[in-house]
Every structure is written in structure tokens, then in C-alpha cells.
Amino acid sequence: MSRGCPDDWILGLHQALLILLILGKWVLPRGGGVTRDELSQLLLIFVGTAADILEFMVNTRPEDIGENGDSVLMRRSTDIWVIMESLLIQDGPFLIVRIMVIIHYRIFHQMLFFFAFKNLLVVILNVYRLIVICRGDRDSSY
């Protein structure tokens, strides 16, 4: 019986976990007024997202490169993708929309300013973290 490579076991566990999460969401009681149509659409999105995540993990995993030969992008690719997701999909677009609402529509509301400032702060901190990662300063003190 072949035991397989440790990376194959890790990939298999990731696959099993994603399948169990999707099936668990499907069989759990529907809460919050989600219709069957909405649930089926959500499950399809989950399956597509899970497949994309697994495909990305397989294609970005280093093959036979030693730790000394790894680039910053290979060693820290997950961190970089999380930062880029935040900048391009989450806080970046929300910041742009909030600034546009404030400037173009001249809406001045305390909560609007608070969340715009929160988004600006998160964007600045993510850019700072991206610079630190690319420079390789993770272990150095400030």
C-alpha cells in the first residue's frame, strides 16, 4: 500500500474539508429566510469558489524548490492574495464608493465618515503590510 506524498495528503484533506463544508451547508436547517432557490444558487457559488481555491493551491505550490530558492511570492503567496483581495474586492471599492458619495452627492453623515476612514485605514495598513512582505522584513522589529 502506497502512503503517498505528504503534500497529496494535505491536498486530499483540503478537498474533503471543502466538500464537507458545502454538504454541511446544504443539509443544515435553512435559517434567515433563505429560499431553496437562493440556497441552490449559493451552493453552486460555493462549489465554484472551492474548485478555484483548490486549483490555485495546486498551481502555486512549490514543486522541488528548496526553502533557500523560494521567492517572496512563493513563500508568502497566501498573504499577498489576502491583501490583494482586501484591496481590490473589499475595502478598496468600498472606500472609492464612500468617497464618491461624500464628494459627488455631498452627503455628510457621521457613519459615512467613520466607515470611509475605516476603509482608508485598512487600505493603508494593507499597502504597508504588502511593502513589508515584499521587502522581506517580516521578522525585523520596528
Label residues 78-116 b or e (16+ Cβ within 10 Å = b). eebeebeebbeeebbebbeebeeeeeeeeeeeeeeeeeb
Q: Which residue has the higher pLDDT, 54 or 134?
A: 134
Asked if residue 105 is part of any domain, the answer here is yes
Average pLDDT, the chain: 77
Average the pLDDT over 83-87 and give the result.
85
Asked if residue 68 is part of any domain, the answer here is no
Are 95 and 141 part of one and the same domain?
yes
Q: Which residue has the higher pLDDT, 136 or 64?
A: 136
Are 94 and 122 part of one and the same domain?
yes
Are 48 and 79 part of one and the same domain?
no
- Residue 139 sits in which domain range? 73-142
In the three-class reduction of DSSP (H, G, I as helix; E, B as strand; rest coil), residue 109 is classed as: coil
Cell digits of residue 100? 464618491
Q: Rounded CA gap, 102 and 109, in Å?
A: 9
Are 50 and 113 part of one and the same domain?
no
Residue with cell 465618515: 113
pTM of the prediction?
0.52
Count of domains for the chain: 2
Asked if residue 47 is part of any domain, the answer here is yes
- For Cα atoms 49, 54, 55, give the angle at the middle one, nearest 5 degrees: 95
108-132 pLDDT per residue, tens: 888 889 889 988 998 999 899 888 8
Q: Residue 99 pLDDT more than 90?
A: yes
Are 79 and 56 part of one and the same domain?
no
Are 57 and 80 part of one and the same domain?
no
Are 32 and 4 part of one and the same domain?
yes
Q: Residue 103 pLDDT more than 90?
A: yes
Are 11 and 41 part of one and the same domain?
yes
31-42 pLDDT per residue, tens: 677 777 777 777
